[in-house]
Amino acid sequence: MAKAPPIAPMEQFLVHPLVKIPPIHLGGFALDMSITNATLAMGFAALVICALLFAAGKRELVPGRMQSVGETLYDLIDVTLVEPIIGPPGRPFIPLIFTIFMVVLVMNMMGIVLGFGALGGQTWTFTPTAQLAVTATLAVITFGIVLVVGFVKNGLGFFKLFAPSGLPWYMLLMVAPLEFLSFMIRPVTLAMRLFGNMLGGHVVMYMFASFIVGLGVFALQGGVAYLGFLGSGVSLAMVVALTGLELIVAFLQAFVFAALATVYLNDVVNLGHGH
């Protein structure tokens, strides 16, 4: 009797070595330089981003399709985020926000395509932004840039961010620690939001995709089991619908990540005065 393959939705998030490279020993530490499915996916994402930007950077008077896409995405960051939130002082930060947006967007979109490879047991498939280590690294880099910009532009006046003006000193004793805690938890919320959305969506898609195979195999037994084809068809429809939803979520999460990075930069660029 044929059996359906076991459902193991979390296996698609495991890191597997693809090319073993001897570790490099530095003092008491061993640096593993092996190429894994994670490094392969992120390296491929970098190549895709470079190819997209190269194709979009032709500067034709009448833009082609790729140039139009590139200009639209750039205007999305410039006109929709940086200009309204930070204002003219934010112009130097447009390339940074655009880079953050493109990195998250491409890895999100690529993860949806590569995620289907996990159904066939392909260990090279990987979704970078469904890994907390990846989203946490992006969040820490973004937060670190905000800190550097804050101290460079404001010096020790950066700490005014935690002391709202107009409050009496006894209120500051309560408000300042809360403001500091709220500020320091920002990279956690950045990382967890992106990680949770991408992880949850991929797990649900994998579950329904596994039902397609499992119910289909069950239906081949004949008799009442033929009803399994109905369940398999419903699962297929759910996968199609969830794929469309995941594409929307992938774009929105990249936009939200870039928007929050812009808001955090605004706090330190326009410190002490509104825009």
Angstrom distance (rounded) from CA 258 to CA 263: 9
Are 130 and 13 in contact, with CB atoms under 8 Å apart?
yes
pLDDT for 234 beyond 50? yes
Q: For residue range 154-181, what is the model confidence (pLDDT) as tens digits?
A: 888 888 888 877 777 778 888 888 889 9
Q: Is residue 25 part of a domain?
A: no
What is the per-residue pLDDT for 273? 61
Q: Is residue 255 part of a domain?
A: yes
Q: Is residue 41 part of a domain?
A: no
Residue 174: alpha-carbon gap to chain centroid: 35
What's the number of domains the chain is made of?
A: 1
Q: Is residue 49 part of a domain?
A: no
Mean pLDDT (the chain) is: 83
Q: Is residue 189 part of a domain?
A: yes
pLDDT for 10 beyond 80? no
State mean pLDDT over 182-204: 88
Q: For residue range 26-57, what is the model confidence (pLDDT) as tens digits?
A: 777 877 778 888 888 888 889 999 998 888 87
Q: Is residue 199 part of a domain?
A: yes
Q: Is residue 9 part of a domain?
A: no
Q: Is residue 226 part of a domain?
A: yes
Of 7-16, 97-106, 160-169, 262-271, give the lowest mean pLDDT range.
Answer: 7-16
Q: Determine the structural domain holding residue 240 and report its residue range.
A: 108-269
State mean pLDDT over 119-134: 73
